[in-house]
C-alpha cells in the first residue's frame, strides 16, 4: 500500500473525519473495507441491497482533491447510468451543492483541483474506441457480470499515472451473481487466490439505509427460489436441480440491432383454466421471437396473463394488433376435436386479420425444449430488456425433466414453439437455395 493510502486508511478507520467533503455521509463497515482495500482489483457486493453503487461512488471521489486525478465509472449502456436513483442521479445529489462543475456533453464532473469524475458506457466493441488515449487512476465497472471479460481486460490499458503521483491505480467493481459474465467473474474474484484481487461480499443486512423487510418481500413476490438465493444470499453456486437453462447464458440488450432474416413470430401457449381463489393455474403466454441475419435468436417480448376464456381471446387479439402485420401469430393445436374447434375459432373470429396458424406439437415439453436450451447454451439466444425478463429467466432456469420440481412451464413451451417455427423457416430457405457444384459456371453467375 502506498504511504498516502496508508495515512488515509488510518484516518478512515479512526472515523475522525469524513472521507471527502464531496461525500455527505460515513461509509458502512463493508463500504469501508472497499475504500481501504490495497488490492489492485476488487469485486464488491454479491447480493442486492448491500450499498454497492454507493461504495463505488465513494471510491471514485476519495482522491478528487489531488490535482490531475481522473476516475471513470462504467455501466453497460448509457441508459443504465441515467436510471432514476442510479449512479448519475446519486452523483448529482452529492455534488450539485458543492463547487464541483458538471459538463453534460462529456458526462463529467470537474473539481477545483483539476480532478475529474467521468461516467461512461461500454456496450459494443466500437465503444472501446471512446477510451483510446484516455488515462485513469480509478476505473469502476458497475454490475460487472453484464460485461464480457475482454471489455474488462481492455480497460487496464487505460490505467496509468504521472511521475511523482501517489494516487493508487485501482480497478473497482460491483455485481450480483448471474448474467453474461457470471462464470469469468466467479473465477477471477470469488474463487481466485491471486493476492492482487479481492472479493468483498456485502448483503442487504450490511446496508442500514434501506428498508430490508419491504425489499425482501417485494422480491419474494416476483422471483423464483434459486434467483432469490443468488440475489439475497449472494450465492454464486445457486442453480436449480436438473435445469437445462442457465440465466448467465442469456445476454440482455436494450435494443434489437435491426438486421433481420425473415419475419418474427409470436407463439402462444394457452392456459387451460383461469385463476380462482388461491389456486395457481398456468398462464397464457405469447413469446415474440426473431432470428437475425447471423442466425442469432432474439426474444423481443413476452406477454403473460391469467384471465377468463373470453378475455384471453381479447388480450391475444389486442397483442396481435399491436404487433402488426409483419409478426406471424402461431399457436399449439391441442389434440382431439376440441383443439380443432379452438383453432377454427381463432382463425375465423379472433385472429382473422393477420397471418395465423395452429401447429401440432409432438413429444414431451422437456424434449421440445432441448433445441432451444442448446441454442441458449451456445450463447445464441438474446433478450431485449423489459419488465418480463426476470419472470422469463426464472421459469426457464427452474425448468427440468421432472414436472413436479417446478411450478410452471408456459413460457418455456411458448419459447420452444417460437424457436421451432423459426427453425422450420431456416430449413425451408436452405431447401430453396440451389446447391451448385464448386467450379460450375452457374456458381459464378456466368
Q: What CATH number corresponds to the domain at position 155?
A: 3.40.50.300
Can you list the pairs that 108-116 forms with residues at least 24 positions away whose Cβ atoms lie under 8 Å?
111/22, 111/64, 111/65, 113/64, 113/65, 113/66, 113/67, 113/69, 114/67, 114/68, 115/63, 115/64, 115/65, 115/66, 115/67, 115/68, 115/69, 115/70, 115/71, 116/69, 116/70, 116/71
Shared domain for 417 and 345, answered yes or no, is yes
Residue 439 located in a structural domain: no
Shared domain for 283 and 201, answered yes or no, is no
> What is residue 435's predicted lDDT score, i.e. its pLDDT?
42
Grid coordinates representing 13? 478507520
Out of 10-24, 70-84, 141-155, 245-259, pick the least confident. 10-24
Instruction: Note whether 134 and 158 are within 8 A (CB).
Output: yes
Shared domain for 301 and 413, answered yes or no, is yes
Shared domain for 205 and 253, answered yes or no, is no
> What is residue 333's predicted lDDT score, i.e. its pLDDT?
80
pLDDT in tens, 298-318: 999 999 998 888 899 999 999
Q: pLDDT band for 90, please (50, 70, 90 cuts).
A: very high
**Enclosing domain of residue 206:** 15-210
Residue 8 located in a structural domain: no
Please give the angle made by the CA atoms of 396, 400 and 402, to the nearest 5 degrees: 145
Report the SS3 class of residue 226: helix
* pLDDT at 239 > cutoff 80: no
pLDDT in tens, 328-348: 999 988 776 677 888 899 999
Q: pLDDT band for 3, please (50, 70, 90 cuts).
A: very low
Find all residues with CB under 8 Å of 44, minimum gap 6, and list them: 30, 34, 52, 55, 56, 172, 173, 174, 200, 202
Shared domain for 271 and 174, answered yes or no, is no
pLDDT > 70: what percent of the chain? 79
Residue at a domain's end among 149, 183, 210: 210
Residue 300 located in a structural domain: yes
**Rounded CA gap, 184 and 356, in Å?**
43
Shared domain for 49 and 152, answered yes or no, is yes
Shared domain for 255 and 200, answered yes or no, is no
> Nearest Cα to 212, choosing from 223, 220, 204?
204
E strand spans, 307-443: 328-332, 356-359, 381-384
> What is residue 45's predicted lDDT score, i.e. its pLDDT?
83
**Mean pLDDT, the chain, whole residue set:** 83
Q: Cα-Cα-Cα-Cα dihedral of 398, 403, 405, 411, to 10°?
A: 30
**Rounded CA gap, 230 and 246, in Å?**
13
* pLDDT at 207 > cutoff 60: yes
> What is residue 408's predicted lDDT score, i.e. its pLDDT?
80
128 burial via Cβ count (<10 Å: 0-12, 13-18, 19+)? middle
**Rounded CA gap, 220 and 131, in Å?**
40
Q: pLDDT band for 17, please (50, 70, 90 cuts).
A: very low
Backbone angles phi, psi at 43, to 5 degrees: -105, 125
**Rounded CA gap, 28 and 14, in Å?**
13
Between 443 and 288, the higher pLDDT residue: 288
Q: Tell me whether strands 284-291 and 297-305 are parallel, antiparallel or unpaired.
A: antiparallel
CATH of the domain at 307: 3.30.420.240
Backbone angles phi, psi at 107, to 5 degrees: 50, 50
* Best mean pLDDT range from 72-76, 178-182, 251-255, 331-335: 72-76
Residue 2 located in a structural domain: no
* pLDDT at 357 > cutoff 80: yes
pLDDT in tens, 126-141: 899 999 989 999 999 9
Instruction: Note whether 51 and 59 are within 8 A (CB).
Output: no
> What is residue 6's predicted lDDT score, i.e. its pLDDT?
46
**Rounded CA gap, 419 and 288, in Å?**
10
Backbone angles phi, psi at 79, to 5 degrees: -60, -35
Residue 238 located in a structural domain: no
Domain count, the chain: 2
Residue 59 located in a structural domain: yes
* pLDDT at 142 > cutoff 90: yes
State CA 121 to chain mean position distance: 15
> Nearest Cα to 264, choosing from 328, 355, 357, 359?
328
Shared domain for 187 and 297, answered yes or no, is no
* pLDDT at 327 > cutoff 80: yes
**Rounded CA gap, 272 and 308, in Å?**
10
Shared domain for 24 and 152, answered yes or no, is yes
Residue 173 located in a structural domain: yes
Residue at a domain's end among 164, 193, 210: 210
Shared domain for 276 and 146, answered yes or no, is no
Out of 123-137, 167-181, 188-202, 211-225, pick the least confident. 211-225
Between 162 and 47, the higher pLDDT residue: 162
Out of 10-24, 43-57, 335-349, pick the least confident. 10-24
158-170 residues labelled b (16+ CB within 10 A) or e (exposed): bbebeeebebbbb
Out of 92-96, 202-206, 323-327, pick the least confident. 202-206
Shared domain for 413 and 270, answered yes or no, is yes
> Nearest Cα to 72, choosing from 171, 162, 163?
171
Shared domain for 78 and 206, answered yes or no, is yes
Residue 445 located in a structural domain: no
Residue at a domain's end among 210, 231, 258: 210
Instruction: Note whether 180 and 148 are within 8 A (CB).
Output: yes
End-to-end CA distance of the chain: 71
**Which DSSP string corresponds to 147-204?**
S-HHHHHHGGGGB---TT-----EEEEEE-S-STTHHHHIIIIIS---TTEEEEEE-G
Amino acid at each position: 500500500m502506498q504511504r498516502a493510502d496508508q495515512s488515509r486508511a488510518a484516518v478512515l478507520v479512526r472515523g475522525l473525519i469524513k472521507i471527502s467533503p464531496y461525500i455527505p455521509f460515513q461509509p458502512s463497515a463493508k463500504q469501508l473495507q472497499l475504500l481501504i482495500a490495497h488490492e489492485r482489483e476488487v469485486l464488491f457486493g454479491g447480493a442486492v441491497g448491500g450499498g454497492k453503487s454507493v461504495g463505488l461512488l465513494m471510491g471514485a471521489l476519495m482522491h478528487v482533491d489531488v490535482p490531475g486525478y481522473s476516475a471513470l465509472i462504467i455501466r453497460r449502456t448509457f441508459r443504465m447510468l441515467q436510471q432514476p436513483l442510479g449512479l448519475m442521479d446519486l452523483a448529482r445529489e452529492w455534488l450539485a451543492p458543492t463547487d464541483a462543475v458538471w459538463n453534460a456533453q462529456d458526462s463529467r464532473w470537474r473539481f477545483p483541483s483539476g480532478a475529474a469524475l467521468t461516467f461512461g458506457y461500454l456496450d459494443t466493441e466500437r465503444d472501446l474506441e471512446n477510451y483510446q488515449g484516455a488515462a485513469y487512476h480509478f476505473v469502476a465497472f458497475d454490475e460487472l457480470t453484464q460485461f464480457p471479460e475482454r471489455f474488462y481486460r481492455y480497460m487496464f490499458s487505460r490505467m496509468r499515472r504521472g511521475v511523482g503521483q501517489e494516487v493508487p491505480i485501482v480497478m473497482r467493481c460491483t455485481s450480483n451473481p448471474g448474467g453474461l459474465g457470471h462464470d469469468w467473474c466467479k473465477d477471477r474474484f470469488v474463487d481466485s487466490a491471486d493476492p492482487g484481487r479481492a472479493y468483498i461480499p456485502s448483503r442487504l443486512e450490511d446496508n442500514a439505509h434501506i428498508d430490508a423487510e419491504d425489499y425482501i418481500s417485494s422480491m419474494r413476490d416476483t422471483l423464483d427460489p434459486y434467483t432469490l438465493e443468488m440475489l439475497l444470499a449472494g450465492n454464486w453456486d445457486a442453480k436449480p436441480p436438473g435445469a437445462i437453462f442457465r440465466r448467465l447464458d442469456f445476454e440482455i440488450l436494450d435494443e434489437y440491432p435491426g438486421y433481420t432474416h425473415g419475419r418474427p413470430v409470436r407463439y402462444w401457449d394457452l392456459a387451460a383454466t383461469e385463476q380462482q381463489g388461491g389456486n395457481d393455474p398456468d398462464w397464457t403466454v405469447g413469446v415474440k421471437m426473431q432470428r437475425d441475419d447471423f442466425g442469432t435468436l432474439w426474444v423481443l417480448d413476452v406477454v403473460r396473463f391469467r384471465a377468463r376464456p373470453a378475455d384471453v381471446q381479447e388480450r391475444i387479439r389486442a397483442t396481435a394488433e399491436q404487433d402488426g402485420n409483419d409478426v406471424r401469430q402461431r399457436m399449439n393445436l391441442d389434440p382431439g376435436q376440441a383443439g380443432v374447434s379452438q383453432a377454427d375459432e381463432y382463425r375465423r373470429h379472433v385472429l382473422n386479420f393477420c397471418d395465423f396458424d395452429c401447429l401440432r406439437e409432438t413429444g414431451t415439453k422437456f424434449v421440445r425444449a432441448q433445441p432451444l436450451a442448446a441454442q441458449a447454451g451456445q450463447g445464441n439466444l438474446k433478450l431485449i430488456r423489459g419488465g418480463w425478463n426476470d419472470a422469463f429467466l426464472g421459469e426457464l432456469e427452474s425448468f427440468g425433466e421432472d414436472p413436479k420440481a417446478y411450478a410452471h412451464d408456459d413460457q418455456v413451451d411458448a419459447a420452444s414453439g417460437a424457436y421451432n417455427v423459426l427453425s422450420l423457416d431456416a430449413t425451408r430457405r436452405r431447401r430453396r437455395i440451389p446447391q451448385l457444384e464448386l467450379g460450375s459456371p452457374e456458381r459464378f453467375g456466368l
